Amino acid sequence: MLLYNTLTEKKEALGKSKGRPLRLFVCGPTVYGEAQIGNARTSLNFDIMVRYLRSQKWRITYLQNITDIDDKIIDKARKQKENPLRLAGRFEKSYIKSMKTLGIDTVDTYARASDYIPRIIKQIKTLIKKGYAYKIEKSGYYFDIKKFKDYGKLSKRTAAQAEDGISRIDESIGKRNKGDFALWKFVEVPTNKKPRKKPALVNGEPAWHTSLGWGRPGWHIEDTAITEKHFGPQYDLHGGGMDLKFPHHEAEIAQQESASGKKPFVKIWLHTGFLTVNGKKMSKSAGNFITIDTFIKHHKPEELRWIVASHHYRSPINYTESTVQDAVQSLQAIQEYINRLSFRASSKQKSGKVKKQNRDNPTKETTKKFHESMENDFNTPQALAAIFELINQTQSNIWYLSSAQAKNIIKTLTQSLTTLGFNVKPIPTPQNIKKIAQERELSRTNKQFTQADALRKKIEALGYRVEDTPLGPLCLKQTQKSHHKT
Ligand SMILES: [Zn+2]
């Protein structure tokens, strides 16, 4: 199994973790709004990876965090005059629900940042003790990036360059370096406030009473506290969107390697590509913001999985109406092919008519190509291409396959696709449709063509179409064109 490691910029063999499952941590959402299809992309990518690895007997523990304390959450809650933790709780629920709808069930543990305050404090104290963190009065504790010589090694930026990065880097007068980030942010709590376990709410900001003073954690320390608790100071795989490389993941490395003195913090870093909508970054102001809920209203969850799987996880996806139509058509083509094969397999016609050149078994090659693609840094587009190759190779002779051959192809197709999280299986034609089709066959035999035509129309009105095959009529569900614009 080869994986592209962002840290080394090379494909590396995935090694077994001695006596324990592989440990994978993936950055989850900051819960302050409905999850959108960009979040879904990352989650689907890692769901496919974990499914595949587990299908190949890898043991793997999959941990994802939920950022429920963050400036963005606090800002939104203030505007809405809501408790930020309650607001985060609402969107966390909706995120988990969306994941279920999308068939993402590979995550073992979702860890909420606010449940890890003692761990966070412990890690910050270690950093203070070792000289990596410093205090700014009335502001908080900060990480001194100049003290960590490797800062920038993941994103290939030097510490000096790193200072240019301002995305989610906390501003404070008194920082030693521009790129220093907050570990703990003080919240000014009235002096008469009694210490308690639950967070206090001061001007809409949650504050925990700790040995470092009243305050709340910075974003980056939440993740390393969570992973240290579950995985220890070093683990196998860390994933997330490409945009999190800097400063977020860089900060995670700095914190954990400084705190433990052990390198590397994570063996392999996996980053998923961007998702744009109609060529642009998704944003509410650009009018191209698509939530998972909106997508599900108009499309099947599997169609989003298809869009994701038909691109390599590191490549960008440009979501457009035609990307969606491609997914709809590909899934329909596969479903219809499986239904045809199933019709062939269940037909009583003996294999006497099987053409000679059709006797060899093409599924072995498909399975081999499918696995080779997946083992090569999860090349899902190539794995899907292997599936279509099998369809293209066998479809011209489909009615002359033996029943066993047809069954074998069904098995290969369903097994490969199930590994990627698709739920495909033969769908039998409903009995009432079959009956009409038989009546129509009889009319045709008796040369009652007007009647036969009327029966065909009846079948079509019920949402099916008749395909006349050498084995008799086969009714397939009418393909539906999606007219929705999302
Ligand atoms: Zn994270």
Q: Give the DSSP per-residue string, 55-79.
A: HTT--EEEEEEEB-S-HHHHHHHHH
Contact between 404 and 354 under an 8 Å Cβ cutoff? The reply is no
Q: At residue 200, what are phi and psi to the nearest 5 degrees?
A: -90, 160
Q: What is residue 161's predicted lDDT score, i.e. its pLDDT?
A: 59
What residues contact 393, with CB distance under 8 A and at least 6 apart?
362
224 CA → ligand 1 middle, Å? 8
Q: What distances in angstroms separate CA 244 from CA 42, 168, 384, one per listed residue?
A: 12, 10, 28
Residues with CB under 5 A from ligand 1 (ion): 27, 223
pLDDT higher for 19 or 87? 87
Would you place residue 451 in the very low, low, confident or very high pLDDT band (cuts 50, 70, 90)?
very high
Rounded CA gap, 314 and 270, in Å? 8
- Is residue 358 predicted with pLDDT exceeding 60? no
> 110-169, pLDDT tens digit by residue?
999 999 999 999 999 999 999 999 999 999 999 999 999 999 999 988 655 555 544 455
Q: What is residue 209's predicted lDDT score, i.e. its pLDDT?
A: 95
Q: At residue 148, what are phi and psi to the nearest 5 degrees?
A: -105, 105
Contact between 213 and 182 under an 8 Å Cβ cutoff? The reply is no
**CB-count exposure of residue 18 (10 Å: 0-12, 13-18, 19+):** exposed
Question: Which of 2-6, 174-178, 211-215, 447-451 is predicted with the least confidence, judged by mean pLDDT?
Answer: 174-178
Q: What is residue 350's predicted lDDT score, i.e. its pLDDT?
A: 59
Q: Which strand ranges, in their side-by-side order, compose the sheet holding 22-26?
A: 109-112, 60-66, 22-26, 235-241, 266-272
What average pLDDT does the segment 5-34 reach? 94
The vertex-424 CA angle with 356 and 361, nearest 5°, equals 20
454 CA → ligand 1 middle, Å? 61
181 CA → ligand 1 middle, Å? 14
Would you place residue 62 in the very low, low, confident or very high pLDDT band (cuts 50, 70, 90)?
very high
Question: Which of 72-76, 192-196, 430-434 is predicted with the least confidence, judged by mean pLDDT?
Answer: 192-196
Rounded CA gap, 21 and 82, in Å? 41
Would you place residue 190 in the very low, low, confident or very high pLDDT band (cuts 50, 70, 90)?
confident
Q: What is residue 479's predicted lDDT score, i.e. its pLDDT?
A: 72
Would you place residue 351 in the very low, low, confident or very high pLDDT band (cuts 50, 70, 90)?
low
353 CA → ligand 1 middle, Å? 60
In the chain, the amino acid numbered 60 is I
401 CA → ligand 1 middle, Å? 52
420 CA → ligand 1 middle, Å? 25
Residues of the chain with pLDDT > 90: what percent? 85
Judging by DSSP bridges, how do beta strands 235-241 and 22-26 pair with one another?
parallel
436 CA → ligand 1 middle, Å? 58
Query: Bridge-partner residues for 472, per DSSP?
Result: 469
Q: What is residue 172's predicted lDDT score, i.e. its pLDDT?
A: 78
What residues contact 314, with CB distance under 8 A and at least 6 apart?
4, 242, 271, 272, 273, 377
3 CA → ligand 1 middle, Å? 20
In the chain, the amino acid numbered 328 is V
For the chain, the distance separating the N- and C-terminal CA atoms, rounded to the nearest angstrom, is 37
Instruction: Taking each helix axis as running N to C, give the angle between helix 250-260 and helix 219-231, from 0 to 180 degrees, rounded to the nearest 10.
Output: 50
What average pLDDT does the segment 64-82 reach? 96
Q: At residue 484, what are phi and psi to the nearest 5 degrees?
A: -75, 140
Strands (E), 67-132: 109-112
Q: What distances in angstroms separate CA 449 from CA 436, 437, 439, 453, one per listed residue?
A: 14, 13, 12, 6
Q: What is residue 483's predicted lDDT score, i.e. its pLDDT?
A: 46
Q: What is residue 144's predicted lDDT score, i.e. its pLDDT?
A: 96
pLDDT higher for 60 or 348? 60
Q: What is residue 353's predicted lDDT score, i.e. its pLDDT?
A: 52
Contact between 86 and 31 under an 8 Å Cβ cutoff? The reply is no
109 CA → ligand 1 middle, Å? 15
219 CA → ligand 1 middle, Å? 8
In the chain, the amino acid numbered 338 is I
Rounded CA gap, 227 and 312, in Å? 27
461 CA → ligand 1 middle, Å? 52
248 CA → ligand 1 middle, Å? 7
66 CA → ligand 1 middle, Å? 8
Q: DSSP letter at 280?
A: E
223 CA → ligand 1 middle, Å? 5
Contact between 247 and 162 under an 8 Å Cβ cutoff? The reply is yes
Would you place residue 485 in the very low, low, confident or very high pLDDT band (cuts 50, 70, 90)?
very low
What average pLDDT does the segment 346-351 reach? 72
- Per DSSP, the residues of 317-373 read EEE-HHHHHHHHHHHHHHHHHHHHHHHHHH----GGG--GGG-S-THHHHHHHHHHH
- Give the three-state DSSP class for 210: strand
Rounded CA gap, 165 and 249, in Å? 13
HSE-CB at 257 with a 13 A cutoff on CA atoms is: 19
Would you place residue 437 in the very low, low, confident or very high pLDDT band (cuts 50, 70, 90)?
very high
What residues contact 308, with CB distance under 8 A and at least 6 apart?
40, 41, 44, 45, 48, 317, 380
Q: What is residue 166's predicted lDDT score, i.e. its pLDDT?
A: 46
105 CA → ligand 1 middle, Å? 20
What residues contact 357, with CB distance under 8 A and at least 6 apart?
none
Q: What is residue 191's predicted lDDT score, i.e. its pLDDT?
A: 83
249 CA → ligand 1 middle, Å? 7
> 264-315, pLDDT tens digit by residue?
999 999 999 999 999 999 988 888 899 999 999 999 999 999 999 999 999 9
Would you place residue 39 in the very low, low, confident or very high pLDDT band (cuts 50, 70, 90)?
very high
163 CA → ligand 1 middle, Å? 20
Rounded CA gap, 328 and 347, in Å? 28
What average pLDDT does the segment 462-480 reach? 89
57 CA → ligand 1 middle, Å? 27
What's the predicted TM-score (pTM) here?
0.94
- How many residues does the structure list for the chain? 486
Contact between 303 and 377 under an 8 Å Cβ cutoff? The reply is no
Rounded CA gap, 267 and 12, in Å? 10
